[in-house]
Amino acid sequence: MESDGVRLPGPHEAGRTFSDRPVLVFWEMTRACPLSCIHCRASAISDPLPGELTTDEGHRLIDEVVRFGKPYPTVIFTGGDPLKREDLFDILRYASARGVGSAASPAVSDALTTDALGRLKASGTASISISLDGAGALTHDAIRRKAGTFEKTLWSIQKAVEIGLHVQVNTVVMEKNVRELPAIFHLIKGLGAKTWEVFFLVKVGRGSGVEDLRPEEYEDACNFLYDASKYGITIRTVEAPFIRRVAAERARGGAKWGGEGYLRMSSELVSFEGSPTASTSSIRPRGTLDGDGIIFVSYDGVIHPGGLLPTKLGEVRTDGLVNVYREHELLKRIRDRDFRGSCGTCGYRSICGGSRARANAYSGDPLETDPACLLAARLMKPAS
């Protein structure tokens, strides 16, 4: 299959699915959070909601993860703010004792102290993720809707690096901050973080009212991230699997579809960092999708394909995580790339597959086409 002079891989040319076990199990321990970020998928609130999984149920969830078999999926303890759960460290220790790797995603608040960071590490967590959504306080604090959060975030990243935690910095890309990506990257490098995970906005929860990017702007951002991935930091994206198509085309010397926004960001990157430090990109040629390598458990035990795809698949209290992940028909169709529209016919669907969460947010159907992908937009455009 050909497109714009670039050979597209066949539907199963680029590797396997994760049909037997996920790579990551996300557990939203609570909806309680001291922040009220403008894009929060959970519309988190200050106090816990009724129905949270208990400590014993949390232990049983870890036992269920073990049932997947080795290599065990990694459990990501998220929220809300997992530090709002008094039993967080107990459950982390239980996961460690069972041989299950874990990471935590705490909110940047007064609870994220030096002691809390040390207890996370002592409880068996090797990694944490901390969100940084702007290159300065003006943007970051406006997105997080709490003054002083930017400075606290920089302190938290530095302190976590100092005590030996692997730090992943998360950034949500939206119209409000996309132009700051080069400066955010430069800031992250200076802080000593080794991984940058860039979340591409999906309009769910409070994010429903946030201004999204156009496909051309997403393409610009992906081309910039491809460039940045050669400067010594591992870059991953969330809900932007089409970056793997961009990376494949760029690696083959294909045309860069990015426009003026990409050229500006790329020139800013060079002005900050100089020449690339690696000849190859850190962006992996294949990865996960919601329901294909990823599964999400909400605060009340409801199982979803991913945190931004709220389709109910079952409940851990009654259905069992392993059975739902392996047997649910929707997840099988996602793993088989049985999609509708352009995503269903695209030759890149095996390495990409489009964001199932964004497809659902725009159409109500998680198997529809991802409207953020520039290639999908071109394929959908009527011939003149």
> Buried (b) or exposed (e) across 116-152, using 16+ Cβ within 10 A?
bbeebbebbbebbbbbbbbbebebbbbbbebeebbeb
Mean pLDDT in residue range 24-38: 94
Tokens of 377: 């937009």
Nearest to 202 by CA among 13, 62, 40: 40
Give CA–CA dist 85/82, Å, rounded.
Answer: 6
Parallel, antiparallel, or unpaired: how do β-strands 195-200 and 234-238 relate?
A: parallel
pLDDT at 42: 74
Q: What is the CATH number of domain 22-213?
A: 3.20.20.70
Residue 281 DSSP symbol: -
15, pLDDT greater than 50: no
Round the average pLDDT of the chain to a whole number and report it.
92
Give CA–CA dist 132/234, Å, rounded.
Answer: 16
> What is the pLDDT confidence band of residue 208, given thresholds at 50, 70 and 90?
confident
CB 290 within 8 A of CB 357: yes
Mean pLDDT in residue range 205-223: 91
Rg from Cα positions in the chain: 20
Helix (H) or strand (E) holding 127: strand 127-131
Residue 256 DSSP symbol: P
Nearest to 294 by CA among 269, 268, 313, 272: 313
pLDDT at 45: 83
11, pLDDT greater than 80: no
